[in-house]
Chain A
């Protein structure tokens, strides 16, 4: 009996030693980075730049795998169902994680409790812009106009995700009625706006910026926590009295249950890459992303809140 007890203890001890040894050596083989969009898109480009930066930090190759489709949920599923050994991590934005989680059926994941948020690397703001010859030139005038002409203003945005969520929040809080025209991406929405088909456009800063620079779109306000360094003249919704600061956040996440030591290594590698890697920072800034490293622990409450808000909005809608 004592033999059995002793050997069990020994077995445990060995298992723990082996476990720590593995954690100490991590990583001993390539770490796969799954991106939930197909090769060639904006998020893919960010993932590839990030993978290159992480390679330098971890000392192992970080191949990027595109697992696209299903409203960007398939990539998340691939990450969440992978072994929790630190050799599969994912990069995604909060949009599929909190929106599509409610709309796509049959997913093996849902609330932020079902995966492990490791870190946030930066945010993409949305901007509201109007036609350059519009009679309203700031948010106050725009709201006044919309109140006088309910349902007349059309806004080009992307349907079903963060973009529309922001606009719905704003119109509900100010009590105006507008007509959303849901497009499938920045390109479609901007083309429609530039062709004069809609009065307003509410899309990502990176997509809209070149047209603002060219004078084809007049910026009104930003959905974000603070003004942009390079464009200090564009106010935020928050300072104009509408507390809507949700942004599109790029996060690194993993399946639940990664050994704490390995998780810590990944987290600090991500942090070092985001803070110090010049190439990665350049790629992010060129994409219009405001770099802001936050740990998964800091990020999670925001994700939970957004996930629940979206869930409630969906319930109300149905």
Chain B
């Protein structure tokens, strides 16, 4: 590990970390411009660097983007990355109370803490955790997806039916296009555009970004007045800190564990963290949805922890579970290094150098971003019609850049209108995104499980991990109902004795 720091603290590597973090933050802040695209475009540059420096730069982009995505979510209610969707719930409301500076600062510090927690965990437990990840296979994902949907639909609004409907809408949209298991096309009506399916980026940006624009444009008060924020209001109060840090630590833990598993960890971990914060909140429960600190501090820490721990399966097994880390794997392979179970013993310098550089990168990210906080907040003084217009243009470029498809732009506008209408009808939008992401995970895992068990459904109960997950799901559904029933009985019993 000390050797690792010696490598990471070489000037060229510190520079690589800074450049990576800066580019990453920028792509995170600009909606639609994906972290994947930024990494891919910069990857050829890393051919000219030493393997470690190249990796340091790429991973800098990766965790920079995870942090940067929260900025527009907090300031404008437009998530820069899908991992920031949850942050729009409370982060934006908190900022509207004039506390945008502290919100951003809490996120910056939280990201740094989460990254550090994740890296420490990684340094100590990497080999053991890799094998844990292999224990999770299709049946477990299936059970996890059910548990996830059941618990997560409750978190944003109390209206379970409405949220479930939105999840199903999202899951339904995800089935359009090419089926992931056997490659046949579904619900395309013979058209090539529908064969493309619905990409997450245009839908998320449409539902949030474009609908926000429509919302502002039609409101009778016109564009909200630019806010002025005094510099001394940048720093969170002592009370705000004391509420934020436990949430940050919990979020880090959740993110660390979710990053080990295949699947859309950065999004699901934020929902999970939000759910946990809301469930355990006592004094401030009523604040959730109206600007609770825990409601964005936890999720933002979670998605940064995921960014780090998702590297564990790659470095210890050579198996990438997300496209972002697959790209890191590609960068390693171009350099002639074969990631796999032998990487740690054959190239310890690379693994420890990368880990140490992540400490350095996290600190670099914090140093870079604390001064930027006041700059971002000053952005709010820009008249909103210019700001939102600009964001709108960037969204269009970002969406188009993902797959160079005009169809995705149609989807962007279409879902802008859908989002606008749903907001009017007081529907929550986050469950659609959740359905869109978890729906395909569930379907794929379910179908794989059926193949694995040769059609036997009892496989879900014969495997200990999936069985326990299902039992927890049942308890979550049944317990609150039983509790209500019990209270009603007692009340009645009380009445009858009186």
Contacts and interface: CB of A to CB of B under 8 A. Distances in A.
A198 B448 CA distance: 11
Contacts of B336: 282, 286
Contact of B195 (A45, A67, A106, A195): A106
Contacts of B43: 45, 48
Q: Which 7 pairs, one residue from A and one from B, show the smallest C-beta to C-beta distance? A: A210-B340, A160-B183, A39-B40, A214-B341, A195-B134, A40-B327, A71-B178
Interface of B: 36-37, 39-41, 43-44, 47, 133-138, 177-178, 180-185, 188, 190-192, 195-197, 199, 262, 313, 317-321, 323-324, 326-327, 330, 333-336, 338-343, 402-405, 444, 448, 451-452, 454
B451 A66 contact: no
Contacts of B338: 209-210, 213, 286
B323 to A, nearest CB: 5
A159 B450 CA distance: 14
A63 to B, nearest CB: 11
Interface in A196-219: 196-198, 209-211, 213-214, 216
B454 A151 contact: yes
A41 B326 contact: yes
Contacts of A22: none
A184 B181 contact: yes
A213 B323 contact: no
Given A40-B327, A106-B188, A188-B262, A198 B134 contact: no
Contacts of B188: 105-106
A83 to B, nearest CB: 16
Interface string A60-92: 000001111111011001100000000000000
22 contacts: A38-B323, A38-B402, A38-B403, A39-B36, A39-B40, A40-B323, A45-B333, A45-B334, A68-B403, A74-B196, A100-B183, A159-B181, A160-B181, A181-B452, A182-B182, A182-B448, A184-B444, A194-B134, A210-B318, A211-B318, A213-B341, A286-B336
Contacts of A210: 318, 338-343
A56 B232 CA distance: 56
A305 interface: no
A99 interface: yes
A254 B190 CA distance: 25
A69, A105, A211, A213 — which one has the most chain B CB atoms within 10 A of its CB?
A69
B138 A213 contact: no
B342 A154 contact: no
Interface of A: prevailing SS = mixed
B359 to A, nearest CB: 25
Interface of A: 38-42, 44-45, 48-49, 52, 65-71, 73-74, 77-78, 99-100, 103-108, 151, 154, 159-161, 179-184, 187-188, 190-192, 194-198, 209-211, 213-214, 216, 279, 282-283, 286-287
B178 A70 contact: yes
Contacts of A194: 134, 317, 319
Contacts of A106: 188, 190-192, 195
A279 B192 contact: no
Contact of A211 (B190, B340, B403): B340
A77 B406 CA distance: 14
Contacts of A283: 334
Given A67-B403, A68-B403, A286-B334, A187 B342 contact: no
Given A99-B183, A106-B195, A286-B336, A195 B40 contact: no
Given A70-B197, A191-B134, A286-B334, 8 more contacts: A38-B36, A40-B330, A44-B330, A103-B184, A151-B454, A182-B448, A184-B180, A187-B321
B403 A192 contact: no
B44 to A, nearest CB: 6
Contacts of B183: 71, 99-100, 103, 159-161
B341 A216 contact: yes
B190 A105 contact: yes
Contact of B192 (A68, A77, A151, A211): A77
A105 B152 CA distance: 36
Given A39-B36, A67-B403, A106-B191, A45 B319 contact: no
B138 A192 contact: yes
A106 B191 CA distance: 5
A187 B451 CA distance: 18
B357 to A, nearest CB: 21
A209 B343 CA distance: 13
A49 B335 CA distance: 12
A197 B185 contact: no
A186 B30 CA distance: 32
A40 B39 contact: yes
A188 B44 CA distance: 27
Contacts of B326: 40-42, 187
